[in-house]
Structure 1
Amino acid sequence: MRLVVAGSPAAAVPSLTTLAASEHEIVRVITRPATPQGRKRLLTPTPVALEAQRLGVPVLEARRLGEIEHELHPLSVDLGVIVAYGALVRPPLLSWPRLGWINLHFSLLPRWRGAAPVQHAIIAGDSETGATVFQLTEGLDEGDWYARLVTPIGAQRTAGSLLDELSRTGAALVSEVVDALAAGTANARPQRGVVTLAPKLTRDDAAVRWAEPVEAVYARVRGVTPEPGAFTRWGDQVIKIHEAAIARDTAPIPAGTMLRAAGRVLVGTATRPLELLRVQPAGKQPMSAADWARGLPVDSEPVFA
């Protein structure tokens, strides 16, 4: 079949690479425009754009598909494939490919419809998540699904590591569905179950709530790592938390209070303490929490907020 693939972040690259290696032809790749990145604010293409260039596939950049509608309609396309493109597909482009569009979504739909399904699944304490390939409709992630896979989340996975795994396993899943659609053997089923929403995370979502049980605190830290990144406040300073763990065999500490003990940095929660392993004070590079704590005044008793 002749395909159009729309995607932007690194999580969409494995799907593009897998489809490019298949018997199908990718006639265009659609991605978000290049944006300023890094301290020097250099204009940088999306990871999908860079991979498409490596593959020699023509790239169209657009914030919304409507911006390039005049370039798409003349193309003869059998199927559109979307993986984390970052914008909705609306009529008439929704029905422009002969078979419409399919979407690879990183959740077990209808749980966690929206922009940040992996992050919300971890923050909520879900034991498993997965990926679903479904038929795109006007509603938010509401279409009938063709295939899915289930993945245990585990007790220590971050959103970044889990999304990396799902992007690779999901690439194989979307390729199987494309093959089935080409062969006429694909079977779509309606979504069933309780709908939950996964909106894009804000900075407030990344603020640690020390008054919660340690499992919830740890889940939030993992769910917002690497983006937008967990943080807490100590006085007027913002401290980013890059890595932490649930402390074992330790006595409770008042919520938000830090204890330095035997080279460990412990912070109290509503239940057991959380051990800080790697942090980043404002204006500094990431460092071990123990090194950071050693640089504090001996008589200081920080309380985080």
Structure 2
Amino acid sequence: MRLVVAGTPDVALAPLEALLASRHEVVAVLTRPDAAAGRGRRQAASPVARRARELGLPVLQPARPRGAEFLAELRSYAPDACPVVAYGALVPAEALAVPRLGWLNLHFSLLPAWRGAAPVQRAVMAGDEVTGACVFQLEEGLDTGPVHASLREPVGARDTAGDLLDRLAVSGARLLVDVLDALEDGTAAATPQSGQATLAPKIDVAEARVDWTASAVHVDRLVRGCTPDPGAWTTFRGERVKLGPVVPAEGPDLAPGGVLVEKKRVLVGTGAGVVALGTVQAAGKKAMGASDWARGTRPQPGEEFA
């Protein structure tokens, strides 16, 4: 089949490579326009755009995938199907109607759980023990289409959202190819979603701030769910500090946000229990181990994260 593949971030690269290695033909790639990135905020192409250009594939980057020029260009490639992995924009009805077999979305949850932009992050933050991936038929509703196939993935006790996404991108890529093979063979069968739907909106910077009055368990989940993106943070001495994964630990009672520097670890109090810090990244500096941060910063008795 002829495919136009839609995707934008790193997590879409493994599925793109799997489709390129499949029996199908990738004729073009659809991705988001170049955007400001990095400290210099220079315009940069998405990971999918960069890889497509390395391969010599045509790259479509409409500001909105509903303009007449884009729709005409999409039709010119005569796609049989359009696989989607984290494209980052809603596909309008006019574009959905172009490929004869529709758009197939690889989504990183077991729908209808965690519909939205941040399913893996939300699963980790909620303390889910199992999540997964599924391939569903894209329609105008938010992740509401019938599901062709799914797989389950356990969430490890120390998994970050990044860890989980890396695994799901690989296993989900195989799932996506299997569904496209079945579509071409005429053996595919999609099933309407059933059960309680939950939403997974994008995590903004404000939500990624650590609330030290929450329990150690919830602080741990928040930090892992926000790693690597958007990054959990707090403040110390009035300046923002980014935190890597923490670990609920045994230790003396500390006030929420209270800091205790020990020989081999740095403890912080929460609303219930304490956590041991992992990495700490002060503004304008590289991430470092908590003990190294403490040696340089020298927290004083009574100082707290806020």
User: 1:31-50: per-residue Cα shift (whole Å, max 9, x none)?
Assistant: 11122322333432111112
Alignment of 1:174-213 (within 5 A): 174-213=176-215
Give the drift of 1:210: 1.0
| d(CA) in 2 for partners of 1:89, 1:179 | 23
Question: Which residue number in structure 2 is paired with residue 108 of structure 1?
Answer: 110
User: 1:219-240: per-residue Cα shift (whole Å, max 9, x none)?
Assistant: 0000001111111122311111
Normalising by the residue count of structure 1, what TM-score does the alignment of the two structures yield?
Answer: 0.96
Instruction: Answer yes or no: is the 8 Å Cα contact 1:111–1:197 preserved in 2.
Output: yes
Give the ranges of 4+ consecutive aligned residues of structure 1 lying more than 6 Å apart after TM superposition: none
In structure 2, give the amino acid aligned to 1:268: G
Give the drift of 1:140: 0.3
| d(CA) in 1 for partners of 2:141, 2:209 | 31
Please give the secondary structure, in 2, of the residue aligned with 1:148.
strand
Alignment of 1:15-54 (within 5 A): 15-54=15-54
Is 281-290 or 143-152 further displaced after alignment?
A: 281-290
Give the drift of 1:297: 4.4
Could you tell me which of 162, 165, 168 is aligned with 2:164? 162
Instruction: Answer yes or no: is the 8 Å Cα contact 1:63–1:87 preserved in 2.
Output: no
Alignment of 1:131-142 (within 5 A): 131-142=133-144
In structure 1, give the amino acid aligned to 2:78: S
Question: Which residue number in structure 2 is paired with residue 59 of structure 1?
Answer: 59
- Percent identity between the two aligned chains: 49
User: What is the Cα-based RMSD across aligned positions, in Å?
Assistant: 1.4
Instruction: Answer yes or no: is the 8 Å Cα contact 1:133–1:148 preserved in 2.
Output: yes
CA 1:162–1:298: 2 relative to 1, 3 Å:
closer
In structure 2, give the amino acid aligned to 1:4: V
CA 1:214–1:177: 2 relative to 1, 3 Å:
same
Is 49-58 or 142-151 further displaced after alignment?
A: 49-58
Question: Which residue number in structure 1 is paired with residue 81 of structure 2?
Answer: 79
In structure 2, give the amino acid aligned to 1:244: V
Structure 2 gaps of 5+ residues are none
| d(CA) in 2 for partners of 1:263, 1:301 | 20
Question: How many matched pairs?
Answer: 304
| d(CA) in 2 for partners of 1:41, 1:61 | 19
Is 189-198 or 29-38 further displaced after alignment?
A: 29-38
Please give the secondary structure, in 1, of the residue aligned with 2:284.
coil
Please give the secondary structure, in 1, of the residue aligned with 2:101.
coil
Structure 1 gaps of 5+ residues are none
Alignment of 1:251-266 (within 5 A): 251-266=252-267
Please give the secondary structure, in 2, of the residue aligned with 1:163.
helix
CA 1:20–1:269: 2 relative to 1, 3 Å:
same
Normalising by the residue count of structure 2, what TM-score does the alignment of the two structures yield?
Answer: 0.95
Instruction: Answer yes or no: is the 8 Å Cα contact 1:243–1:279 preserved in 2.
Output: no
